[in-house]
Amino acid sequence: MTLAPAFRLPICAATAIAITLIATLSLPASASSKKQSKTAVSGNAASAKAHVLYASRPEALQFADDLAARRGLDRERVRQAIGQAQFLPQVPRLMLPPPKGTPKNWRAYRARFIDPVRIQAGVRFWNEHRAALERAEREFGVPAEIIVGIIGVETVYGQQMGNFRVMDALATLSFDFPSAHPRAAERVEFFRRELEQLLSLADRSNIDPFALRGSYAGAMGLGQFMPSSWVRYAIDFDGDGRIDLFRSPVDAIGSVANYFIAHGWIPGMPTHYAVQFDPARLQLDDLLAPDILPTFSAPSLQAKGAVLDAAGARHTGSLALVELQNGGDAPSYVAGTENFYAITRYNWSSYYAMAVIELGAEVAAARAR
């Protein structure tokens, strides 16, 4: 794998490329820039000196030593890279879930991502890159509108690509993840693996990890790929001999499609069907128990009181009843297919998946007018 030549810098240089991600009602979803704080605050102090570096943290340097040995990397270069990373005090706060009792609201969530500005940007993006989108659909079986929906929700088609140094963000989440998070231990391991992937990629490609900017969670490029996803799923779709998810929309298009195929996308299958309820038969708790994991056949779903439309009743794969809460109003429901579930592999949220689907559909409709 190679990146754009501009990224081939000494590992200790500090230059910048821009991308970001915002917090949604459930998980991080799209990009909305936040200015990086210049003050680092420790967990036990109300104020601390600015620009706290991880060179002062023995556990961070021990991780660097272990990583270098495990990956066969130069120990001093890895220690230097991790040691130069700065603690970002706002990042742990952004990782905390909403307070308990905070109602989710699909209509409010939808309004954040589906608006005239984003739709018109999507039309321009689709028109400019129509050939690449058609090729991705032909080669991978992922519809253009799903790819357009992803890139639009994530970065407004490259308009909002952020300002967090990925190295700083991943180091912060590796060594200062908020202990109040209900899945703190699991998330620490995840972000340490991502930090390892970033440094391994930087070593193989001779790039400066401090040159890469992205979301507060460490995601990069038009499609907001984490380092491990970049390694596994990013492709050179424009044929120029390098992978550049920052400045090549064509590479981003092909990489998003490749990601979906790797995560179970089934060409030709709808993402969801309309559903209504038969109150006399409804077993709502049973239907919602598997969450968004497709578990029910169409007949078993209907036997529990979820009445599908004609197309849904003919569906031969597995389905999930997806609930979208609307604040104090009644929830909305759809029957999600394996392809709906595949979209949630990009971001573990049914709200996110519906926003991607509906933004893509709105952009397609606007192009047709």
pLDDT in tens, 97-137: 888 878 899 999 999 999 999 999 999 999 999 999 999 99
Which range is least confidently modeled, 20-24, 310-314, 357-361?
20-24
Of 364, 344, 362, nearest to 26 by C-alpha is 344
The yes-or-no verdict on residue 240 having pLDDT over 60 is: yes
- The confidence score (pLDDT) of residue 37 equals 36
CA distances 331 to 103, 120, 222, 324, Å, are 11, 29, 32, 5
Interval 342-359 mean pLDDT: 97
- The confidence score (pLDDT) of residue 205 equals 87
Cα-based angle 24, 27, 29 (whole degrees, multiple of 5): 60
What does the alpha-carbon distance between residue 305 and residue 324 come to, in Å, rounded to a whole number? 18
The yes-or-no verdict on residue 174 having pLDDT over 60 is: yes
- The confidence score (pLDDT) of residue 224 equals 97
Residues 281-330 have pLDDT tens digits of 999 999 999 999 999 999 999 999 999 999 999 999 999 999 999 999 99
- The confidence score (pLDDT) of residue 21 equals 28
8 A C-beta contact, residue 114 and residue 153: no
The yes-or-no verdict on residue 49 having pLDDT over 50 is: no
Residues 180-223 have pLDDT tens digits of 999 999 999 999 999 999 999 999 988 999 999 999 999 999 99
- The confidence score (pLDDT) of residue 25 equals 31
8 A C-beta contact, residue 7 and residue 213: no
| Contacts of range 109-113, beta carbons closer than 8 Å, 24 or more positions apart | 109/24, 109/25, 109/351, 109/355, 110/354, 110/355, 110/358, 112/24, 112/30, 112/355, 113/29, 113/30, 113/152, 113/153, 113/355, 113/359
Of 144, 148, 158, nearest to 119 by C-alpha is 148
The yes-or-no verdict on residue 39 having pLDDT over 90 is: no
Exposure of 25 in the CB half-sphere (CA atoms within 13 A): 23
Amino acid at 289: A
- The confidence score (pLDDT) of residue 100 equals 80
Is 154 part of the annotated catalytic residue set?
yes
Cα-based angle 305, 345, 349 (whole degrees, multiple of 5): 60
Interval 40-47 mean pLDDT: 38
Catalytic residue among 137, 145, 154, 323: 154
- The confidence score (pLDDT) of residue 41 equals 36
Written as six digits, the tokens of 246 are 């920052």
Written as six digits, the tokens of 337 are 């297919």
